[in-house]
Amino acid sequence: MSSTLPPSVPGAAPGGASQPAKPQVNRLGLSQKDYGGVPSTLCNGCGHDTITAALISAMWEDGMNPYKIAKMSGIGCSSKTTAYFNSKAWGFNAVHGRMPSVATGAILANHTLNSVGVSGDGDTASIGIGQFVHAIRRNVPLVYVVENNGVYGLTKGQFSATAERGAKSRWGDENQAEGIDLCGLALELGCTFVARSFSADRKQIVPLLRAALRHRGTAVLDIISPCVTFNNHEASTKSYDWGRTHEKPIHEIGYVNAWDAPAVDYPEGERIEVPMPDGGRILLRKLGRDHDPRDRESAARLIAEARARREFLTGIFYVDGDAPNLVDGLNLPAEPLATLPESLTRPGRDALDAVMESFR
């Protein structure tokens, strides 16, 4: 798939395979290592670590300004991972289920930051479902990655709210409640970027993340990410084996920035091109299905069908790159509120006098 896509960095292979000789650099002159973080302390083989690696590649390939990223998370194994990428940026490991509000606040203070939120299925679909809903409703500019393993990893394997009815735990007990489909819910809420992926499908995740990182609103990425310790057993529907045998990509995904070399395109008729507001383009190659991710109804149908048939569809269900986001509605100056000078944030004596007069 990659061969048909343009490299974002001249000479660099998409996906970030590095050549041993000299480290490749992106358009900012930074190597992939420059986007690295502290070593992971997750279990060997944990799906979350693959997503971390994909985030590093995506940010690097995209040439994102590493200092201007805000790494936001809640609590869980998944939420720890924001420490494992891009140490040039600030991170905030907040409280369980409340990453969206903290991310929203940070954006209010400094709207020039690119917020990347990492959460878990417990963090989002259980304790944090309210904040997930309202972040989407406000279209907070935020890449919202849910590292979905169907269990609470950090508290040792209890079912989360994304576990399907009938799912079996490692100990054999059966989940009695219906699972929440985060993509379906997000779409219903008017989410402007809805996608699903599989942590082991690195080829898909990297361009998907690049597209999401360029999105101006809330980009919900529900990434199935196996928990090798508590939910990778035979009966699991969130295991590596299950994912590998069931994943059905709805399309191949590529992302091309405005500044990238001219694209070698997918053939006409197989290709869907979604322009992004900053001049970039999402390039999709159809895989047997005729889904245009700008078509909300088609997206809703697709998600509902997949749910009914218990199909593991991956790809971009929906994208609306032009929808106004939270910041658009606030009429903020170019300079972040955080650093506005006193001359702009403290009204003058006349103003106070006028207010006092109104109380006379």
Partner 1 sequence: MTPLTASTAAAPGASKASHVNVNDFTILVATANGTGSQTANSTLIRTIMGMGLPVSGKNIFPSNIQGLPTWYSIRVCEAGWSSFRRVPDVVICMNPATALEDVRKVAPGGTVIFDAPLQLEKMRDDVRFYAVPFGKLVSQVTPNSKLWTLLKNMLYVGAAAELLSLDFAEVEKALRKAFASKPKALESNLLAVRIGADYAKANFPERPPFRVEARNLTAGKILIDGNSATALGACMAGCTVLTWYPITPSSSVAESLQEYFAKHRRTPDGKHTYAVIQAEDELAAVGMCIGAGWAGARAMTATSGPGVSLMSEFIGLAYYAEVPFVLVNVQRTGPSTGLPTRTMQGDLLACAYNSHGDTKHPMLFPATPEEAYRMTMDAFELAEGAQTPVFVLSDLDLGMNNWMCDPFAYPETPIARGKVLSKEAFLKMPAGSWGRYADVDGDGIPWRTLPGTEQDGMAYFTRGTGHDEKARYTEDDAMYVKNMVRLSKKFETIRKLVPAPLVSAAPKPSRTGVLAFGTTHYAVEEARALLRTDHGIEFDYMRLRAFPFTDDVKRFFDAHDHVYVVEQNRDAQMAAMLRIEIPEVAMKIRSLLRFDGLPMAADEVAAEIAAKEPRR
Ligand X SMILES: Cc1ncc(C[n+]2csc(CCOP(=O)(O)OP(=O)(O)O)c2C)c(N)n1
Binding residues for ligand SF4, per CB under 6 A?
42-43, 46, 48, 77, 149, 153-154, 227-230
Q: Which is nearer to ligand SF4, 24 or 149 (CB)?
A: 149
Q: Distance between CA 12 and CA 295 in Å, rounded? A: 33
- For residue 223, the cross-strand partners are 147, 197
Give the residue carrying structure tokens 């694209």: 263
Q: Which of 19, 112, 155, 176 binds partner 1 (CB under 8 A)?
A: 112
Buried b (16+ CB within 10 A) or exposed e, 309-345: eeebbbbbbbbbbebebbbeeeeeeeeeeeeeeeeee
Output the CA torsion 223→226→227→231 (10° steps).
120
**Is 149 a residue that touches Mg ion (CB under 5 A)?**
yes
**Is 217 a residue that touches partner 1 (CB under 8 A)?**
no
Q: Which is nearer to ligand X, 227 or 250 (CB)?
A: 227
Task: Name the phi and psi angles at 293, rounded to 5.
Answer: -70, 0
Candidates 256, 208, 195, 205; CA nearest to 4 is: 256
**Is 169 a residue that touches Mg ion (CB under 5 A)?**
no
Q: Which is nearer to partner 1, 68 or 289 (CB)?
A: 68
Task: Name the phi and psi angles at 54, rounded to 5.
Answer: -65, -40
46 binds, among partner 1, ligand X, ligand SF4, none (CB under 5 to 8 A by kind): ligand SF4
At its nearest, how many Å lie between ligand X and the CB of residue 54? Answer: 16
Task: Candidates 230-238, 245-253, 256-264, 348-356: pick the segment binding partner 1 (CB under 8 A).
Answer: 348-356
Q: Distance between CA 16 and CA 39 in Å, rounded? A: 19
Q: Which of 6, 37, 100, 120 binds Mg ion (CB under 5 A)?
A: 120
Contacts with partner 1, residue ranges (CB under 8 A): 38, 65, 67-68, 70-72, 82-83, 87-95, 98, 100-110, 112-113, 130-131, 133-134, 138, 330-333, 336-340, 342, 344-347, 349, 351-352, 355-356, 359-360
